[in-house]
């Protein structure tokens, strides 16, 4: 089995893990078993505990001085933004809408790399990015009769994750993946506290069913994060990265089977446009690197 095949399989496992994470969180908050803030807080604390065990078993310290470096602090700030608004979107929007808008993140990363990091992007990839953003607008449908205000949560969450990924390109290389995972889920915990602060009424503990679902959310999230790290270290990025879109397929299946969601033709067309433009951009990037 080649490294690229291994990387693709790891990436597909990661996307299944993240889709399961989203579905469990959506189920727990949608059924009222826990609030978005309390669910996010428990999610972060549980995943932090898992990564703390992983880090200690590999003799890695839980604290790394690089956590306070400006580049990593910027990444942490964007991760808080992404986690906070993504959790709110899962709680208040459909799983299919939230997952579809999230697929625009690679396009935003590419746009940011061009504007901030000075990477060169050809005219065809600019067109692809424009079409991807058109796809997002097709999903959102910002007209008075179709627009849902809470859909803004999904857009802000997507932007937070995209800017986090962009900041990751400049993150210190000496931070081990388990330490980065620990920091990432500490951010989830902070996002939970922020959401809790704005929720009406006093905080309430999750029901036993809610606690079980959020614990499963944390396990799925750790599996997804670890598989993603393995994927990006196994094969060529240009080959492995397109399998990120497998997450949308799994999410749509969960949305249909578990939540009875039936995305209409406009939403599915917009999602297809976002995925298609993202795949094209990734393939163009791969060809450009091969020529170089």
Structure token pair of residue 119: 């990477």
Predicted confidence at residue 194, as pLDDT, reads: 93
Residue from 113, 140, 142, 144 nearest 126 by CA: 113
Full-model pTM: 0.85
Per-residue pLDDT tens digits for 105-162: 888 877 887 777 677 777 877 888 788 888 888 888 776 666 788 889 999 999 998 8
- For the chain, the structural domain boundaries read 3-290
Residue 103 has pLDDT above 70, yes or no: yes
Contact present, 95 and 261 (Cβ < 8 Å): yes
Structure token pair of residue 120: 């060169």
Rg of the chain on CA atoms, in Å? 19
147 in helix, strand or coil? coil
Residue 20 has pLDDT above 80, yes or no: yes
Per-residue pLDDT tens digits for 236-290: 666 677 788 888 889 999 999 999 998 888 889 988 888 888 888 777 766 766 7
Per-residue pLDDT tens digits for 178-211: 787 888 899 999 999 999 999 988 888 999 999 9
Predicted confidence at residue 238, as pLDDT, reads: 61
Predicted confidence at residue 169, as pLDDT, reads: 66
Per-residue pLDDT tens digits for 70-88: 888 888 899 899 999 999 9
pLDDT band at 170 (very low <50, low <70, confident <90, very high): low
């Amino acid at each position: 089995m080649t490294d690229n095949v291994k990387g693709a399989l790891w990436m597909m496992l990661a996307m299944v893990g993240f889709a399961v994470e989203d579905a469990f969180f959506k189920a727990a908050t949608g059924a009222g078993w826990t609030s978005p803030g309390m669910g996010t807080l428990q999610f972060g604390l549980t995943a932090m505990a898992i990564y703390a065990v992983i880090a200690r078993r590999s003799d890695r310290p839980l604290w790394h001085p690089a956590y306070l470096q400006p580049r990593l602090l910027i990444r942490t700030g964007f991760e808080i933004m992404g986690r906070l608004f993504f959790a709110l979107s899962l709680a208040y929007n459909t799983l299919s809408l939230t997952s579809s808008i999230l697929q625009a993140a690679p396009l935003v990363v590419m746009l940011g790399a061009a504007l901030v990091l000075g990477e060169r992007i050809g005219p065809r990839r600019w067109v692809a990015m424009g079409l991807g953003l058109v796809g997002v607008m097709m999903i959102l449908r910002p007209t008075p009769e179709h627009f849902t205000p809470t859909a803004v949560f999904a857009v802000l969450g997507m932007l937070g994750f995209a800017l986090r990924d962009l900041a990751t390109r400049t993150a210190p290389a000496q931070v081990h993946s388990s330490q980065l995972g620990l920091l990432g889920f500490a951010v989830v915990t902070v996002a939970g506290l922020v959401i809790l602060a704005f929720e009406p009424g006093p905080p309430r503990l999750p029901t036993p069913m809610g606690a079980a679902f959020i614990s499963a959310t944390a396990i799925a999230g750790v599996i997804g994060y670890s598989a993603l790290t393995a994927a990006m270290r196994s094969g060529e990025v240009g080959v492995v990265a397109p399998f990120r879109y497998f997450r949308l397929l799994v999410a749509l299946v969960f949305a249909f089977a578990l939540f009875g969601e039936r995305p209409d033709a406009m939403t599915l067309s917009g999602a297809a446009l976002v995925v298609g433009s993202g795949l094209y951009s990734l393939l163009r990037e791969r060809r450009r690197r091969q020529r170089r």
